[in-house]
Structure 1
């Protein structure tokens, strides 16, 4: 390994010698090739000769040394080596993400109030706001900005000076400028922006709250009424009748039905939310579905548990499946299998 002439360098301290020995050990263990090993050792030697190794080194000093001298020095490898040992003070400005710089440049275009509001949104999405969560990357935020930018320009052209002025109708009109997936993307971005601003206390009212992108807002065609009536006549209870309607009228799958929650049914708005991977589908209830769903969810739940009790005479199974107490499970088993309960352990 070719080293720099030492006559022009200050004498190395003991800590500097140990740090260089540590570097030599790493390079040998990782089997660095000759060229990068020489450049890295030369760079670190000069740094610790002049600055010592008792305190962390500034990344700006390393960059100042290697700029214009790339053939002899290796600032990147030295930076990595020092950072792993806690001996580097990073240059935050130099390390700023390229997408971050681009977003900051784009924030200079809107009026000051909106720019400040959007800065709060970006900070919240990054996980640096009031609510702790895993933040998104600047690259992800840049994709959101790509969707938001044309809408924002339209609002600015209309004289909007703050996102507090945006109404539910404004959001609907923005979504209405596109169809299909692009429209859904606008809905997702709008919801993300205004939820974040609401959580951060920048706005008092979220115009996207309760706004659902449903795609096609019409009831799918059902099976003929005579055939449907024949199917429903075979239902043994209210729960089965409701499930049959969901399948025959709205074509829900078994997976859809198994994932339904009590809170998914909103009778006041005459709709049912169906949870699917990565999205939610809204069913607008027709008259028949509404009547079947108008039964109390408590009744439907009891019917479901009773059906399971008829199929499996195991109280432990009911307790695990439905989260009910031992006493409640035994009550269902007794009702479903009166002739067997005397044999069951209590």
Structure 2
């Protein structure tokens, strides 16, 4: 039964709940109106009128219940280490939510994101993490889907159904759901492949192609003729991956990319000029930057391995760092310089973020206190270097320098944990006279 006031015109009067009610009728929060009445409709809440009325009032002027005020204070205490701008965004968001909906009942995650989307001075993710830790958040599964997977499904939806199903079969193979067991690829890697394939797939379907079984070598050459350099290599590699997977699942009868020329995928490693290497550590201003440069330039560690290294993988007593490479492990032996840089970084991290529980070895202001424990973003690593060399160039220069000093590929494999093909490529570059094929 729905019990509403009878014979009273205008808006419904608020029920007495023992808390102060704002004087202005326009400012009456939803929690004060018919409190205790469960939601009648599950329609999406429109925060625009609410935010328009509250925009002119500072968060400190909103009357909050005792429970809500205490929760906002707890949240503020946890986020003290944040920059001032991020701190204000989070506090304002939780204050508006607590004022309008209250915190006695769980809040919907969709409401938090819908509110934050309307104003750049509001934030959603930290507030949701705080509410979830206290059991006051109703999660929305649609908000927790992998964004790369969402992009892939959107791209497949734009293709005709038969072609989309064939491309989906290819992604299943890359995710280790095919007839052969293999290490699953990430959705991020599949998205990069599909980004290169999408223009060719759209062009073929617009020309009347209804299935990828109709693709011939002429179609492939036509798609590659307009490209050059890295773009051509990336598309050729993606095409080979697509049709090899379809051949495994017996979706196509033959692989048209079998004789497709891909070209050199990596190119010849080239050294970094000495004037760019000189003073790199001196130019780094933070322990984070100095450690990142040392790992790439001294130990030839890739950017992905630097980002994903865990604190438990470091053993300062033994002077080792264990790098995870799929199912394999590579032990990195630290010399005096890198050992000292690791010590400086751990001391700085403990002093800067003593409450951080992020298991990753490298953290930033954004990731140190994030309950989701994300790894450092790729762009953050790139910003530690001055203009000129990249982390990949520093890594290649280190391996190439070792190859110049020794022509033994086994030493390169043991020292840097690289494959025999990679080791032979660096040895061939450093000592072309010892190979059967001289570079042009």
Decide which structure has the larger Cα Rg and report it.
1
Bucket of the pairwise TM-score, normalised by the shorter protein: 0.3 to 0.5
More helix by share: 1
Higher relative contact order (CA 8 A, sep 6+): 2
TM-score norm. by structure 1 comes to: 0.44
